[in-house]
Amino acid sequence: MWNVNTSEVKEWVTVKTESVKKLYVGFVLEFD
């Protein structure tokens, strides 16, 4: 089992989620 810092994982997930949201919003606005 990995020895993972939970707060680091949460931060990584948050960053990834935000970047995906930005990509999605940009895509929707561009092709709306």
One digit per residue, the tens of pLDDT, for the chain of length 32 reads 667 789 999 999 999 999 999 999 999 988 86
* pLDDT given for residue 4 in this prediction: 78
Name the amino acid, one letter, at 15: V
Residues 6+ apart with CB under 8 A from 3: none
Name the amino acid, one letter, at 21: K
What's the half-sphere exposure (Cβ side, CA atoms, 13 Å) at 15? 6
Rounded to two decimals, what is the model's pTM?
Answer: 0.57
In angstroms, the CA 18 to CA 28 distance is 15
Give the max Cα distance, the chain: 45
* pLDDT given for residue 1 in this prediction: 61
